[in-house]
Structure 1
Amino acid sequence: MTSEHERSSLTGASNERSGSRLNRREYMRVLGGLGVLGALGGLGARPATAQPADTSKTIDERIQEHRTGTVEIVVENADGSPVADADVSITQQTHAFNFGTAVNANTLINNSSAGDNYRTYIPELFNTTVLENRHKWRFWENEQQLADQATQWLLDQGLDVRGHVCVWGRDGVSAIPDDVQTAIDNEDAQTIRDRSMQHIEDIITHYGEDITEWEIVNEVMHTYQLQLGVYGDQINTDEPWTGDVVPWTSQLLADWYDHAASVISTNGLDVGIGVNDFNQFPYAYTDSRYETEIDHINNNAVQLDTVGLQAHVAARTGSFNSNSNPDGRISASQVVSEINKWADHGARVKITEFDTYNGDDWNSDQERADMLDNYLRGAFSHPGVDSFIMWGFWDARHWENEAPLFYDDWSQKPAYDVWTGLVFDEWWTDETATTDGSGTYTTSAFLGEYEIAAETDSDRATTTTVVTDAAGTTTVTITVDGSGGGSDDTTAPSTPTNLSINSTTNSSVTVAWDAASDTGGSGLDHYVVSVDGSQDQTVAAGMTQTTVSGLSAGSTYEIGVQAVDGAGNESTTTTVTATTTDDDGSGTVLAELNPSTTTASVGERITFQVTDTSGSGQWITSLNWTFGDGTTATGWWNAHAYDAPGNYTVALTATDNEGDTTTHELTITIS
């Protein structure tokens, strides 16, 4: 395929995922051209509107109806005669549906490198991403280079990138630039309008079509600090739904969206527009408010492309769909019913920030895994949903240290098996068969990209295709020499190659390898991972990385990987030796602080960044700052200004996953 899209604003580097994986931006353009986005959802070309789910059907029935299409493989000789009994295989390469995660830009660019778990698992487990913070207004203006580097890296892996967010009216979280916060404090409405409108234009045009869609305003039902600077006491901060101006139906909100639509249209961009907010699943109050917000934007600004449902799932003790500590632990069918509330507003629906936080009320991590299963099945079965994005996947880089898939030491949580078991196994098509008397084999396949192969007694041919039509049939014709009727598959798959150690901790080893291939006709089925010759786990055929856990500190192990095909043929086992770290693997300090300057004037803004210097197998879990003037802060980046001259000791205290703590200090001189 040849993409019509040219990189509009970053470096122009290749946007192809390594190997045979499809460039998803290009792929979704193909789908748009074929007019099949109503079935898929998806990005790039504007999708058809969503539709409510038919709740009279089961979860599996809806998945079969909306997420699979019929594939007809026709094998023939060069003269057009059919080849009966030819061996055929259909092997999925990627999904059409968006399975995504939030990415921490600082960890990606400054605290990881090629081969690290963080960089390896992102393209291995996901096809869609969103930056957790660095596209937010203040972050972006202060650290645009970091945001650009992270965005480019994700694009270079062939991943889609969503824009989060143009405007977020929440104070205290580095979302609002300092001068805009000053304008809010002074109720300088014109500055707020001018700066926000210009920022919307700047960030959309800067990335162009490298960003598939933008949330223009985030959480307007709950955080509306910018609007307070414009409307003042017209907004009732105690009961915002009762004021003269209601934030989610204000003229300013409509103006923001109208301006974003104008910027996109004027610049000829193919970029979606979305809303995003939280509490839609468990709480009752959000139903009418969010629907009112959506209708207000649709009627007074622009037809939305996406309605975002954050889906931060908490285990609480109150009744579901109430306003008193409601419990988010619901069935897949309940998930579908809730999504139906948002599926008839002319926009596609996305699950944008799934996680299972609020740990005190969860009974176990298995219960959290069960909830991922319920929400993921419910969303995937809903015809109006095109994305399921989790808000980080690793505890050490999660806003509450409660990510779905991995603990701090990269050992797998029960939810990891749910995610990989559904995305790369149950919802992954990998079949082998023989053609019938008419030279045809017909099957059902999940929407996505495929490699199709046919083999006779004297020839073999392969091709690729994209299955896009859930309502029709995709026909693939393969021309080969010879005739069918060959022997049963007794050919073992190739041995996995380039087995390597990605990382080690004092209790785990993460390994990765290049995918095996199978030419015997039965198709690759799974991998067997062994430790010192004994089977430890199996890994789905679509995966090429895993973490072996439960190991002893300072010990050496032989890790093996073997490929197994659908006929049970086994490849030779390839092995690598790995040694876990000792219990104490830290350096002098876990993290160093890096100021923009160590000498400044009173009132001058100094920025502080962090360099991760922790040892192999260690992960920083918290960062606490003191600035020597009584001010404190947390996090990977901070800015500070001093009110009086003098020498100030800035201290950064870091804690890692093993509970070790170090402090790095330096002196700032203010004149």
Structure 2
Amino acid sequence: MTCSTAADDLRRSAVTLTVRTPDGSPCAGADVLVEQLGHDVAFGNIGFDFVGLANGEEDGARENVFGGADPEAARQLEELWLDVFNTATLPFYWAGFEAVEGQPDTERLRATAAWFRERGVRVKGHPLVWHTLAPDWLRRSPDEDVERTVRARIGREVTTFAGLIDTWDAINEVVIMPVFANEDEQNAITRLCRRIGRIPTVRLAFEEARRANPAATLVLNDFNLSTAYECLIEGVLEAGIQLDAIGLQSHMHQGYWGEERTQEVLERFARYGLPLHWTETTLVSGELMPPEIEDLNDHQVDSWPSTPEGEARQADDVVRHYRTLLAHPSVEAVTYWGITDRGSWLGAPAGLVRADGSPKPAYDALRGLVKGEWWLPPTPVRTDGDGRAEVRGWAGEYRVTAGERTGTFRLRPGAPPPEVTVA
């Protein structure tokens, strides 16, 4: 059995759909058309490139720590982005979001979140608490004030964006948080975590966010997938802190991990019984980063071009990676970290689209999975005498058309058989 078959066997299920007219009577012996409208699986990408476009900044995207394409470049990316992805991650890096104390970039991010939601895209915020890109002005605060300020920041963002953004990386990269040091003077978040400890810092993030929006999905996210992260998760759960999902980063600038290692990571973190979100994934289409480099940030090169050979490898790697992830029942979300090489993290050719706006083979390959192999094409079916017909597809939203009438339903394995009224 291939990984592709495993993913499809796991996630494609058959349901008996009942189609009714507005008066409640069954559409008996009717020819109807069933079309898939969306996946329940979160196929995500970052939405940083669209902040300027969503805010009508025709003269170019405003400078910020998270970058982003200028509006003209974003227009070229929009259709490509929306044709594959259904979940956007927006940047809430504190140093850029609130570069000046008391002046958060709320309205621009609200406009961007609304722009995505108007296009049927779910939105996630990243991150609420992180030591890297903590604001400089917080560094000057006394220790006793830092925790109060962090709590206020969490509550403000989660409350303000509730309804637009209901999924958050509540805290990011806690494993190294209390020992992180890349500056002469320690950042305030590291100081806080060192003073009160990792688990109390996680509790702070999750409890404040939960208080602000009890309906939010809150993720514990990390790049360190060693046993240190497992120990942290175990300690957090033993402390009674409610996690909604475990976030796993996989920036594979040194080459695709392969199915065996990926499966091993899946099994280790699935044992906690929580959904797994692959929050940050990249695969390069150029020369691979040397294997001896431990911190990806240490790889500094003047130019890192995409190559034909690298693009062919990237396309194959993307398919293998996504098939392996979606063949595991714990995986709910997979976010690719960047659609374009233009302005990419570390300058890596990890985008699915070249800097000139043309799709790479990896883009076509991923679209072939999300909107091809794992998507139900418009399918004609005929109902029986009770208005029933069998539909087989991935969990998600579907439309039924009977003549001039339409209706929608959600296909969810294990749920009661769906009924749809066409009107």
Does the TM-score normalized on the shorter chain lie above 0.5?
yes
Supply the distance in 1 between the matched residues of 2:137 and 2:356 (Cα, whole angstroms).
Answer: 40
| Paired position in structure 2 for 1:28 | none
| Paired position in structure 2 for 1:416 | 363
Cα distance, 1:351–1:262 mapped onto 2, change above 3 Å: closer
Paired residues for 1:546-557 under 5 Å = none
Cα distance, 1:219–1:452 mapped onto 2, change above 3 Å: same
| Paired position in structure 2 for 1:344 | 271
Supply the distance in 2 between the matched residues of 1:370 and 1:350 (Cα, whole angstroms).
Answer: 22
| Matched residue SS, 2:375 | coil
Of residues 135, 156, 181 in structure 2, which corresponds to 1:177? 135
| Paired position in structure 2 for 1:156 | 118
In angstroms, what is the RMSD of aligned CA positions? 3.4
CA shift for structure 1 position 223: 4.5
| Paired position in structure 2 for 1:398 | 344
| Paired position in structure 2 for 1:126 | 85
Q: Kindly indicate whether the alpha-carbon contact (under 8 Å) linking 2:36 and 2:396 is maintained by their aligned counterparts in 1.
A: yes
Deviations 1:289-319 (A, max 9, x none): 110111222222612111111111133xxxx
Cα distance, 1:348–1:475 mapped onto 2, change above 3 Å: closer
Supply the distance in 1 between the matched residues of 2:416 and 2:333 (Cα, whole angstroms).
Answer: 24
CA shift for structure 1 position 121: 3.4
Deviations 1:546-565 (A, max 9, x none): xxxxxxxxxxxxxxxxxxxx
Supply the distance in 2 between the matched residues of 1:293 and 1:126 (Cα, whole angstroms).
Answer: 31
Aligned residue type for 2:139: Q
Q: Kindly indicate whether the alpha-carbon contact (under 8 Å) linking 2:33 and 2:380 is maintained by their aligned counterparts in 1.
A: yes
Q: Kindly indicate whether the alpha-carbon contact (under 8 Å) linking 2:397 and 2:409 is maintained by their aligned counterparts in 1.
A: yes
Paired residues for 1:309-348 under 5 Å = 309-315=248-254, 327-331=255-259, 334-348=261-275
| Matched residue SS, 2:134 | coil
Q: Kindly indicate whether the alpha-carbon contact (under 8 Å) linking 2:36 and 2:397 is maintained by their aligned counterparts in 1.
A: yes
Cα distance, 1:385–1:434 mapped onto 2, change above 3 Å: same
CA shift for structure 1 position 376: 0.9
Q: Kindly indicate whether the alpha-carbon contact (under 8 Å) linking 1:165 and 1:217 is maintained by their aligned counterparts in 2.
A: yes
Aligned: 1:357 with 2:300:
no
Supply the distance in 2 between the matched residues of 1:445 and 1:306 (Cα, whole angstroms).
Answer: 25
| Paired position in structure 2 for 1:471 | 414
Cα distance, 1:252–1:79 mapped onto 2, change above 3 Å: closer
Cα distance, 1:311–1:344 mapped onto 2, change above 3 Å: same
| Paired position in structure 1 for 2:67 | none
Aligned residue type for 1:156: E
Cα distance, 1:180–1:61 mapped onto 2, change above 3 Å: same
CA shift for structure 1 position 367: 0.8
Aligned residue type for 2:417: T
Cα distance, 1:312–1:63 mapped onto 2, change above 3 Å: same
Q: Kindly indicate whether the alpha-carbon contact (under 8 Å) linking 1:83 and 1:435 is maintained by their aligned counterparts in 2.
A: yes
Moved more, 209-218 or 290-299: 209-218
Paired residues for 1:568-607 under 5 Å = none
Q: Kindly indicate whether the alpha-carbon contact (under 8 Å) linking 2:51 and 2:108 is maintained by their aligned counterparts in 1.
A: yes
Q: Kindly indicate whether the alpha-carbon contact (under 8 Å) linking 1:254 and 1:301 is maintained by their aligned counterparts in 2.
A: no
Supply the distance in 2 between the matched residues of 1:256 and 1:167 (Cα, whole angstroms).
Answer: 9
Supply the distance in 2 between the matched residues of 1:81 and 1:193 (Cα, whole angstroms).
Answer: 60
Aligned: 1:369 with 2:315:
yes
Q: Give the aligned length.
A: 377
| Paired position in structure 2 for 1:189 | 143
Aligned residue type for 1:448: G
Of residues 381, 384, 388 in structure 1, which corresponds to 2:334? 388
Q: Kindly indicate whether the alpha-carbon contact (under 8 Å) linking 2:134 and 2:189 is maintained by their aligned counterparts in 1.
A: no
CA shift for structure 1 position 344: 2.0
Aligned: 1:462 with 2:416:
no
Aligned: 1:304 with 2:304:
no
| Paired position in structure 1 for 2:299 | none
Deviations 1:41-93 (A, max 9, x none): xxxxxxxxxxxxxxxx7634543454223232456899968844x43321101
Cα distance, 1:162–1:393 mapped onto 2, change above 3 Å: same
Q: Kindly indicate whether the alpha-carbon contact (under 8 Å) linking 1:137 and 1:177 is maintained by their aligned counterparts in 2.
A: yes
Supply the distance in 2 between the matched residues of 1:351 and 1:94 (Cα, whole angstroms).
Answer: 19
| Matched residue SS, 2:351 | coil
Paired residues for 1:505-654 under 5 Å = none
Of residues 161, 167, 185 in structure 2, which corresponds to 1:207? 161
Supply the distance in 1 between the matched residues of 2:110 and 2:126 (Cα, whole angstroms).
Answer: 14
> Identity rate of aligned residues, in percent?
24
Q: Kindly indicate whether the alpha-carbon contact (under 8 Å) linking 1:257 and 1:301 is maintained by their aligned counterparts in 2.
A: no
Of residues 115, 130, 140 in structure 1, which corresponds to 2:97? 140
Cα distance, 1:251–1:300 mapped onto 2, change above 3 Å: farther
CA shift for structure 1 position 439: 6.1
Cα distance, 1:216–1:406 mapped onto 2, change above 3 Å: same
Supply the distance in 1 between the matched residues of 2:228 and 2:130 (Cα, whole angstroms).
Answer: 18
Aligned residue type for 1:179: W
Cα distance, 1:201–1:79 mapped onto 2, change above 3 Å: closer
Cα distance, 1:200–1:214 mapped onto 2, change above 3 Å: same
Higher-strand-fraction structure: 1
Higher-helix-fraction structure: 2
| Matched residue SS, 2:365 | helix
Moved more, 215-224 or 59-68: 59-68
CA shift for structure 1 position 197: 2.7
Cα distance, 1:454–1:357 mapped onto 2, change above 3 Å: same
Aligned: 1:63 with 2:22:
no
Q: Kindly indicate whether the alpha-carbon contact (under 8 Å) linking 2:352 and 2:363 is maintained by their aligned counterparts in 1.
A: yes
Aligned residue type for 1:466: R
CA shift for structure 1 position 127: 1.1
| Paired position in structure 2 for 1:429 | 376
Supply the distance in 2 between the matched residues of 1:406 and 1:69 (Cα, whole angstroms).
Answer: 33
Supply the distance in 2 between the matched residues of 1:218 and 1:427 (Cα, whole angstroms).
Answer: 31
Unaligned runs of 5+ in 1: 1-56, 236-244, 281-285, 316-326, 481-671
Paired residues for 1:31-50 under 5 Å = none
Of residues 262, 286, 307 in structure 1, which corresponds to 2:207? 262
Cα distance, 1:199–1:473 mapped onto 2, change above 3 Å: closer
Cα distance, 1:80–1:368 mapped onto 2, change above 3 Å: same
Q: Kindly indicate whether the alpha-carbon contact (under 8 Å) linking 1:69 and 1:474 is maintained by their aligned counterparts in 2.
A: no
| Paired position in structure 1 for 2:171 | 217
Instruction: Give TM-score scaled by structure 1 length.
Output: 0.51
CA shift for structure 1 position 346: 3.8
